[in-house]
Amino acid sequence: MSLEKIADVLDALAGYVDATDAEKTAEARVEKEALIASIGEKHAAATGEDISDEMLLHLSRVDTALLQTMDKVAGTRKEASDETTLGGPSDRGDLSVEPTNKKEAAERADDQFLNWIVEE
């Protein structure tokens, strides 16, 4: 086998690797651009403002896995009307004035505990 044939095979292999690598890079770039566009749309829907060019630049530097996570989180955002309340205000009137120092807070806690024991 001559050296020219070996060189031709190595050149063909290098061309194949370059083409495959360029194809993978292009696919990754398209996926990243789609994720950034999706995040931008969700940001605009939530805030009413387009995403800034500076933020787009920062997002373009982030890896794809983080962009996918951000896209999922942005997609699960609930509207304000969908939120459930976790409770309401206390019906006890004696707690309306907040203690101003640790001594008052400790005295209030002692009084509440003693009142609870007496009531039970």
Whether residue 52 lies inside any domain: the answer is yes
Whether residue 36 lies inside any domain: the answer is yes
C-beta of residue 32 within 8 angstroms of C-beta of residue 67: yes
Q: Give the pLDDT confidence of 23-64 residue by residue, as tens digits.
A: 888 888 999 999 999 998 888 888 888 888 899 889 989 999
The structure's pTM equals 0.50
Q: Give the pLDDT confidence of 53-109 residue by residue, as tens digits.
A: 899 889 989 999 999 998 888 877 655 555 666 666 655 555 557 778 999 889 988
Whether residue 97 lies inside any domain: the answer is no
Whether residue 41 lies inside any domain: the answer is yes
Whether residue 51 lies inside any domain: the answer is yes
Whether residue 114 lies inside any domain: the answer is no
Two tokens, residue 91: 């019906």
Whether residue 88 lies inside any domain: the answer is no
Which residues span the domain enclosing 40? 3-77
E-only strand ranges, 1-112: none
Domain count, the chain: 1
Whether residue 90 lies inside any domain: the answer is no
Name which of 60, 68, 4 is nearest 29 in CA terms. Answer: 60
